[in-house]
């Protein structure tokens, strides 16, 4: 059984109201940003993610850290895996996620956590490096 189509009227100012049930399903709250993508005769509406702005940059950083130090790292948005070193298999990352040996760093935008960097090591000698990378990414996000 397919989901029913919801029909809404555009008002004089071009506004469209998203029904409460739809907002709840998509976890959309007041103040959230939405990305609108026109495709032929369809308007795709997705919840905008600040983390996507740095996805490719973080993937390069994670690849470099893995190549140099053999430490796997991941970028999370909530509990969702956004990226990991391209050289490492998904299965290996999945196994590592269950490990307790990790260093975690929050990525903030306007004082709100938008993501987290997790490095699978308990060796604290890398803390300064990972703290610097997190600081760099926070500053980058401020400029975006």
Per-residue model confidence (pLDDT) at position 3: 66
Decide if 26 is inside a domain. yes
Same domain, 104 and 91: yes
Using alpha carbons, list the distances in angstroms from residue 25 to 8, 18, 33, 35, 60. 17, 11, 16, 17, 33
Per-residue model confidence (pLDDT) at position 50: 77
- The dihedrals phi and psi of 42, each to the nearest 5 degrees, come to -130, 145
Same domain, 93 and 60: yes
Same domain, 43 and 98: no
Q: Range of 70's domain?
A: 51-143
**Interval 23-72: pLDDT, tens:** 888 888 888 888 888 988 888 888 777 787 788 899 999 999 999 999 99
Same domain, 110 and 75: yes
Enclosing H/E stretch for 82: strand 80-83
Decide if 92 is inside a domain. yes
The helix/strand/coil state of 73 is: strand
Same domain, 103 and 76: yes
Percent of residues, the chain, with pLDDT higher than 90: 47
| Number of structural domains in the chain | 2
| CATH number assigned to the domain comprising residue 83 | 3.30.450
Per-residue model confidence (pLDDT) at position 140: 87
Decide if 35 is inside a domain. yes
Mean pLDDT value of segment 2-6: 71
Per-residue model confidence (pLDDT) at position 1: 52
Same domain, 139 and 97: yes
What pTM value is reported for the model? Answer: 0.71
**116 and 105 in contact (C-beta within 8 Å)?**
yes
Decide if 15 is inside a domain. no
Same domain, 28 and 75: no
Where is pLDDT greater, at 11 or 4?
11
Q: What is the mean pLDDT of the chain?
A: 89
Cα R_g (the chain), whole angstroms = 19
Same domain, 120 and 93: yes
Separation of alpha carbons 48 and 53, rounded Å = 10
> Does residue 79 surpass a pLDDT of 90?
no
Decide if 3 is inside a domain. no
Same domain, 44 and 102: no
Number of H helices, E strands in the chain: 4, 6
């Amino acid at each position: 059984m397919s989901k029913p189509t919801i029909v809404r009227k555009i008002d004089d100012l071009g506004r469209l109201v998203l029904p409460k049930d739809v907002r709840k399903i998509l976890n959309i709250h007041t103040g959230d940003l939405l990305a609108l993508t026109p495709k032929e005769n369809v308007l795709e509406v997705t919840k905008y993610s600040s983390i996507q702005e740095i996805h490719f940059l973080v993937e390069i950083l994670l690849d470099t850290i893995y190549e140099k130090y053999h430490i796997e790292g991941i970028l999370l948005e909530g509990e969702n895996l956004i990226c990991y070193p391209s050289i490492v298999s998904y299965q290996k990352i999945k196994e590592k996620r269950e490990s307790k040996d990790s260093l975690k760093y929050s990525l903030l935008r306007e004082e709100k956590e938008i993501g987290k960097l997790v490095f699978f090591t308990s060796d604290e000698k890398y803390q300064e490096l990972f703290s610097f990378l997190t600081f760099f990414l926070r500053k980058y996000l401020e400029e975006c």
